[in-house]
Amino acid sequence: MNNNPKLRLSALEHTGLVNLDSVDHVEVLSASIDSRSCQKGDAFFAITGQRHNGHDYARQAVDQGAHVLIVEQPLALTTPQIIVNNTALALLQLSVDYLSQFSVTTIAITGSCGKTSTKNILKQLLECYGSVLASPKSYNNRIGVALTLLQLTPENRFLILEFGTSQVGEILELTSMIKPDRRLLLGASLSHLSGLGSIEGVVNEKGSILTGMLAHQVAIINHQSPYAQQWRRCMSVNARVINYASPDSTIQIESNGQGSIHLTAQGVQRTYNYALLGQHQIDNLSAALTCVESLNLDVTTCFNRIELIQPVERRLELKRLNNGLAILDDSYNANVGSWAAALAVLDNYSLPNRLVVMSDIDDLGHASQAIHEMIITMMSQSSIKALITLGPICQQAAKKFARNTMHFDDNQALIRYLGQLSTADTVVLFKASRVGRLDTLVDQIIEVIE
């Protein structure tokens, strides 16, 4: 480990660099992609995004103290500039070089559902053994992973990353550059089909986290996934794999369905309260504990932290209002797999009057209508009493629902309707993609009713 890790601009030599000579003498203290938060000594990376072009904010970054600009075309500024083909890739390259200066155990998590919850569970458990850096929020793409790496300090013993994807090759790029020591593969579901094309594309993309594994690295795979065997077959001969959520797993967890779990591992049996709802969260805990055990740590040491684990914001987060209404806020994101998990939780919830508020799911490409109808069919097979839709795709798909449906174009009208319900026996599940902004609606409802 380097006791004095630095950001080395020389790491950008392999990113389509035009000229590094003019900035060889420049020492940077940190890297930034936000001109508003740039500080003296920063390298500012002008990222070209869907909504903003960082090159338009380079002058502001300089005014804030940026010492060097990493850009994709020359700018009319006197500040030293490094010109690269892709500033986002350059940021990742710089951060990977920074990572190489640390002696830290790196854990990467991928899957269509559960990445953030599993990451947070694992962070809570690993803090028993040393300092943990985990990616904030859902920083799981090229830029988010890079920004996480740049937060490393010599005190960190463990690094937990999420690997997300919306296009073919994104997980392979992250895997090949970072080379994680532990690779958790939670599952695959119909999601991001605009870029991945089909479920086969999703399965292959998620499975690419297993590429290039060395003898000391370990894959941890969800045994219950229908694609587990396919993923194991694509691994190198010498690669080590551990299954979790398997009858043969060394860690076994049983839930009583009332917020309590019975845990067996290494000959030790314990019962704990567990605040996370649903069988999928039992599986996420199993994945995290299996990862801890794979690191040759005494897994029983972290058992007492299980009761400290809390739900991730907007992921089946239970909110009880003063009037008795129960809200299951799952408004952060949605795909087929997470819908199945959410409906299972709703089916088992104690209140009998079960409602769903659903908004359109994005990034499903040509399969969008069919997938929305698939989810509606799942609802028809559940115990929910009524479906409330927001968005044109949901409204059309809801015609397949066998029971009561309502559609609202106006959030205020929906809030008034919910306020008139007999709330003492009612639970409402709110679920959508982030673009549906159901999180804002949930906050408005709470503000009005409370």
| CA proximity to 253, closest of 261, 220, 290 | 261
Structural domain contains residue 57: yes
Same domain? 235 vs 375: no
Same domain? 257 vs 142: yes
In tens digits, the chain (450 residues) has pLDDT values of 667 899 999 888 876 666 666 666 778 999 999 999 999 999 999 999 888 999 999 999 999 999 999 999 999 999 999 999 999 999 999 999 999 999 999 999 999 999 999 999 999 999 999 999 999 988 999 999 999 999 999 999 999 999 999 999 999 999 999 999 999 999 999 898 888 989 999 999 999 999 999 999 999 999 999 999 999 988 887 889 999 999 999 999 999 888 999 999 988 999 999 999 999 999 999 999 999 999 999 999 999 999 999 999 999 999 998 888 999 999 998 999 999 999 999 999 999 999 999 999 988 999 999 999 999 999 999 999 999 999 999 999 999 998 999 999 988 999 888 888 767 899 999 998 877 789 999 999 999 887
Q: Are 398 and 405 in contact, with CB atoms under 8 Å apart?
A: yes
Composition of the chain by helix, strand, coil, percent to 5: 40, 20, 40
Same domain? 286 vs 233: yes
Residue range of the domain that includes 156: 102-308
Beta-carbon count within 10 A of 24 CB: 9
| CA proximity to 234, closest of 267, 200, 204, 259 | 204
- The three-state secondary structure class of 257 is coil
Same domain? 246 vs 205: yes
Among 273, 308, 343, the domain boundary falls at 308
Q: Domains in the chain: how many in total?
A: 3
pLDDT tens-digit readout, 57-89: 999 999 999 999 999 999 999 999 999 999 999
Among 85, 120, 149, the domain boundary falls at 85
Strand partners, 329: 317, 430
Q: Residue 334, class by beta-carbon neighbours within 10 Å (0-12 exposed, 13-18 middle, 19+ buried)?
A: buried
Same domain? 233 vs 377: no
Residue given tokens 């073919």 in the structure block: 168
Same domain? 128 vs 61: no
Q: What is the CATH number of the domain that holds 367?
A: 3.90.190.20
Structural domain contains residue 2: no
Model pTM?
0.94
Return the pLDDT at 234. Answer: 84
Same domain? 282 vs 387: no
Structural domain contains residue 97: no
Same domain? 74 vs 182: no
> Residue 208 and residue 325: Cα distance in Å, rounded?
44
Same domain? 62 vs 168: no
Same domain? 139 vs 251: yes
Same domain? 270 vs 178: yes
Same domain? 68 vs 199: no
Structural domain contains residue 1: no
Structural domain contains residue 256: yes
pLDDT tens-digit readout, 258-316: 899 999 998 899 999 999 999 999 999 999 999 999 999 999 999 999 999 999 999 99
Handedness of CA 105, 88, 184, 232 (dihedral sign): negative
> Residue 47 and residue 52: Cα distance in Å, rounded?
8
> Residue 329 and residue 352: Cα distance in Å, rounded?
18
Q: Which residues, 6+ apart, have CB-to-CB distance to 92 below 8 Å?
A: 142, 143, 145, 146, 173, 174, 177
Among 280, 308, 336, the domain boundary falls at 308
> Residue 379 and residue 80: Cα distance in Å, rounded?
58
